[in-house]
Copies of this chain bind each other. A is one copy, B any other.
């Protein structure tokens, strides 16, 4: 008998038909004699709707009330799936985060899990009851609801798998694994049978939507075996592992594209000590994470600062920066929403200097201008004009010989 955490994303539970189908997937595992813990997201589209409501009432800041509103979606799914399981004759019950409890810190909208006492869940499992846990939610020290950030249900699933010492954490989604590039952009994209935690983390961080980056980080830390697979088709998925078998010659695991970022340049900042800290500090205080950051050269005692952030944070970031302008008289903001971030990812990167050259040469050959560059041990990311997305991803996929799969 093995113990598995099964997590089902928003499209997997989008309607009553899908919920019934998911119940059958769970039943199959339970019938095989395994102990099953289920984690669910909100039904597809619900969270966006709730975000819109909250945003139109309170556009300029995040409060604990946003978490109260947003976490309701997962509550609905957990109750509905428990109903669907009981209709198949399985014993099950829903658990909300405050009932488990999943204890977090008190950062609104981006809470971090502190600990998960498991006595209640263990008692539930020992009675052959399948717990259906609302993902994405937590309970803070003030006894109030928190949420774990977009895609937070993945983190809930991995944290539970770690706390309950599960044999594996299966992430069911609407794609059947991790691909070398977005299959909607690259017709020849191949599914990877295996990918390392480090590569998966970069893929997720750079825009591949299949897993939340934080959940991969957590899985890596606690050595939780992860499997990404589809709830729509029954085919083998992708295993996220510590070290992958090098059966292929390429050292690049994939190409990620992220079209949900926007570039901001703060122009003409007086070049004084602490100025950068002031700007980034204000954004951080408002829980606005930045991605790529570039500081230009000082000209006439003034400097430009360029960074990228999520489109969904743009409005709040503009508020924060306009406020800051009173204290730090920069000249103006330049905003470009028409960008794409393309990242080439692979554990081979660190030992292979030619990868960067190949990336830049390929883009140059296609007359694609690079706006920003960042690199890490296992990835290179570039910002391009959004219109080049298709051309760039396909050209790079071919150049890095990812088609052979």
Point out residues on A near B: beta carbons under 8 Å.
Answer: 16, 19-20, 50, 53-54, 56-58, 63-69, 71-73, 75-76, 78-80, 82-84, 86-87, 93-94, 96, 98-99, 143-145
Contact = CB atoms under 8 A, between A and B. Distances in A.
14 contacts: A16-B57, A54-B80, A57-B80, A58-B84, A63-B83, A64-B93, A65-B79, A65-B82, A65-B86, A66-B83, A67-B79, A72-B73, A75-B75, A99-B143
A69 B79 contact: yes
A65 B80 contact: yes
Given A58-B83, A72-B76, A98-B98, 11 more contacts: A16-B53, A54-B79, A54-B80, A58-B84, A65-B86, A65-B94, A67-B79, A68-B82, A68-B94, A72-B75, A96-B145
A387 to B, nearest CB: 35
Contacts of A66: 79, 83
A331 to B, nearest CB: 31
Contacts of A54: 79-80, 83
Contacts of A56: 16
A99 B73 CA distance: 19
A16, A54, A80, A93: which has the most chain B beta carbons within 10 Å?
A80
A286 to B, nearest CB: 16
Contacts of A20: 57
Contact of A50 (B19, B64, B76, B94): B76
B69 A53 contact: no
A87 B54 CA distance: 11
B79 A68 contact: yes
B58 A86 contact: yes
B65 A53 contact: no
Contact of A76 (B53, B63, B79, B98): B53
A75 B73 CA distance: 10
A78 B68 contact: yes
Given A58-B86, A87-B58, A69 B80 contact: yes
Contacts of A144: 99
Nearest to A15: B53
Nearest to A23: B57
List of 9 A-B pairs having minimum Cβ-Cβ separation, nearest first: A68-B79, A69-B79, A72-B72, A58-B83, A65-B79, A65-B82, A57-B83, A72-B75, A65-B83
A65 B87 contact: no
A57 B93 contact: no
A146 to B, nearest CB: 12
A54 B66 CA distance: 25
Contacts of A94: 65, 68
A93 B108 CA distance: 14
Contact of A93 (B19, B53, B65): B65
